[in-house]
Amino acid sequence: MRKYIGQTLRRLIGTSQATIDTIEPGSIMVSPRKPIDFDDDAAITEILDLATKIGAVLLDSGTAAIDTQEQIRFVAGVYGLENVEVDVTYNTIVVLARRGNNLPPVSTMRQVYYRSMDFTRLAQVDRLVRRIRDMALSPRTAHSIVNEIVSAPHPYPHWVATFAWGFMASGISVLLGGRFVVGAIALLTTMVIVVVNRFLNRVGIPMFFQQVAGGFITVVPAALMYAAAPSLGIELAPSQIIASGMVVLLSGLSLVGSVEDAITGAPITGVARFFELLLMTGGIIAGVSMAIRLLEGTGIYLPTITANTNFGFVDAPAQIIAGGLAAAAYALASYAEMRALPVAFMAGAIGIAVVVLTNQLSAGAIVASSIAATVTGLFGGLLARKALTPPLVVAVAGITPLLPGLAVYRGLYGILNDQSLIGFTSLASAFAIGCALAAGVTLGEFVARALRRPQIPHRPMWNLRPTWMQRTRRE
C-alpha cells in the first residue's frame, strides 16, 4: 500500500516546476555571448525595458508584487544586470540598474494599465521567461516575442467567454441548491451583464459604475421571475440567482493578489488592491440595493433569507461537480489555455469537497473556507506545475466557487430591511471568509512551491556541458 501511495504522489507532483520555483539565489547565469557593457546606456535600457514589459503583464494578471519583482530581477540578471533594484507598486514598475561607483545608474519606469483578464497571455509570458533562461534569447528577439504576446487578440471569441461566464453563474446557482430553472436564469442574466459591462468598458465608463450596473441587472430578472413564478407553476429562490451573479462580479477582483501582497511584504500594493476590491464590492452592493428599492416601489418584494448555504453529504456529488464546473468555466472565461481547464476543474472540486467534509465536523464557515482554500492552493499548485500552467490561474479559479456571494447578499438584504445587526454580521462574515480564502490559497501555494523548489541551482540548457563520463561514453 505504501508503494502505491508513493507512486500516486510522485505522479501528482511530477518533476515540473513553475517559473517562480526555479528562481533561486545563485541560479542566475549571465549570457555567455558577451558580457554586458556598463558604458552602453542603450543596451542596458533595452534589457530593463524588456524586464518591465514582462513585469507589466504579470502585475496586470494579478501576480503578487513580490513574485513580479523576483521575475523582473531574474530576467535582468540573465542578461548580466545583477545589481538591480526593483520597486513594484499598485500600477507602477520602477527598475534601476547600478553600474558601480563611477557611473550613474540607469532606470526605467512603466505604468501598468488594466486590461481584460487573459490567462493565456500570462502563460505565454511565463514560457517566455523560461526560454530566456534556457535558450539565451537575445534582448531584441525577446522584445519582439513579448510585443506579439501583448498585442495578440484573445485566444477565444468574445461569445465563448460570455457563455463561460454564464455557465459559471449557472454552476454557482446549482452549488447553492438551485435547480434547472434557476441555473438557466442565472446563465442568461450573467450573459446580459457581461455584454452590457463590455459595452460600458468600451465607451470608457469607470469600473465602479460597471459593477453598479452589474449588481442592478443581477436582481431584476430574478425578482421578475419570482413574481411570475406562481402563475407559471414553478418554484425558485431569487437569492440563488442574485448570489451567483454577485460571485461572477466578485470573481474578477484581485482578492488573492491583495492578501498575498500584504502577507509577503508589499503592504502598499496590498492596501491599494484591497481598497480597489472594497470599492468594486461597494459598487455591486449599490447596484443591488438600487434594484431592490426600485422593485419594492413597484410592489415586488423579495423573500427573506434565513438559511445558510448547506454543504451536506446528501447533495455532495452534485455540489462537487458544480463547483468544479464553475472553476473551469471561470478559467475559460478568463481565456486560460485548454490544458488549464481540467486542472481548474480539479481545484474547484477539491475545494468544495473539503468544505463538505469540514462542515460535517461543525468547523464553521470561516475555518472551513480557510482549510478548503489551503488544500486547493496546495493540490492546485502541484497540478498546475504538472500541466505547466501558472499556479495563479488554478489558485484563483479554484477558490471562485467558494466566494461568499450569498453572505454579501444576505447582509445587504438585512440592512435594507431594518435588520442591521444581522446585516452587518453577514457582511463581516463575508469579509472574513474572503480573507480566509485568499490567505489559505496563498499558504497552500507556498507549500506547493516549497515542495517543488529545486535543492540545487539549475543551470540553463545552454550552459550545460557534458561531463567527463558522458564524453567517455560518447567516444
From its phi and psi, is residue 305 left (phi > 0), alpha (psi between -120 and 50) or beta? beta
Give the amino acid at 20: I
pLDDT bracket for residue 189 (50, 70, 90):
very high
Question: C-alpha angle 400/338/70, rounded to 5°?
Answer: 70
| 228-234 average pLDDT score | 82
The larger pLDDT score, comparing residue 336 to residue 38, is at: 336
48-57, 119-128, 319-328, 417-426, range with the lowest pLDDT: 417-426
End-to-end Cα distance, the chain: 44
- Residue-level pLDDT at 17: 57
The helix (H) or strand (E) run that includes residue 349 is helix 340-360
Tell whether the model's pLDDT for residue 27 goes beyond 70.
no
Tell whether the model's pLDDT for residue 19 goes beyond 80.
no
CB 401 within 8 A of CB 331: no
Tell whether the model's pLDDT for residue 71 goes beyond 80.
yes
Question: What percentage of residues in the chain have a pLDDT greater than 90?
Answer: 8
C-alpha to C-alpha distance for 291 and 280, rounded to whole angstroms: 17
pLDDT, tens digit, 9 for 90 and up, residues 345-385 = 988 888 888 888 887 777 777 888 888 888 888 887 777 77
pLDDT, tens digit, 9 for 90 and up, residues 402-433 = 887 777 777 777 777 767 777 778 878 878 88
pLDDT, tens digit, 9 for 90 and up, residues 80-119 = 888 888 988 878 899 998 887 788 888 889 888 765 677 8
In sequence order, which residues have a C-beta less than 8 Å from that of residue 66 and are 6 or more positions away? 260, 261, 264, 265, 266
Paired strand residues for 222:
none
What does the block give as the cell for 266? 508589499
Tell whether the model's pLDDT for residue 195 goes beyond 90.
yes
The larger pLDDT score, comparing residue 63 to residue 315, is at: 63
3-state SS, 50-86, equals: HHHHHHHHHHHCCCCHHHHHHHHHHHHHHCCCCCEEE
Query: What is the reported pTM?
Result: 0.81
pLDDT bracket for residue 457 (50, 70, 90):
very low
Q: Where are the extended beta strands (E) located within 224-352?
A: none
Tell whether the model's pLDDT for residue 16 goes beyond 80.
no
Tell whether the model's pLDDT for residue 204 goes beyond 70.
yes
From its phi and psi, is residue 87 left (phi > 0), alpha (psi between -120 and 50) or beta? beta
15 class by beta-carbon count within 10 Å (0-12 exposed, 13-18 middle, 19+ buried): exposed
Tell whether the model's pLDDT for residue 394 goes beyond 70.
yes
Backbone angles phi, psi at 8, to 5 degrees: -65, -45
pLDDT, tens digit, 9 for 90 and up, residues 108-155 = 898 887 656 778 888 888 888 888 877 778 888 888 998 888 888 888
The helix (H) or strand (E) run that includes residue 89 is none
134 class by beta-carbon count within 10 Å (0-12 exposed, 13-18 middle, 19+ buried): middle
C-alpha to C-alpha distance for 287 and 210, rounded to whole angstroms: 9
Average pLDDT, rounded, for the chain: 78
**How many other C-beta atoms can be found within 10 angstroms of the C-beta atom of residue 151?**
7
Question: What percentage of residues in the chain have a pLDDT greater than 70?
Answer: 82
**How many other C-beta atoms can be found within 10 angstroms of the C-beta atom of residue 35?**
9
pLDDT bracket for residue 464 (50, 70, 90):
very low
The helix (H) or strand (E) run that includes residue 428 is helix 420-452
Tell whether the model's pLDDT for residue 459 goes beyond 80.
no
C-alpha to C-alpha distance for 428 and 426, rounded to whole angstroms: 5
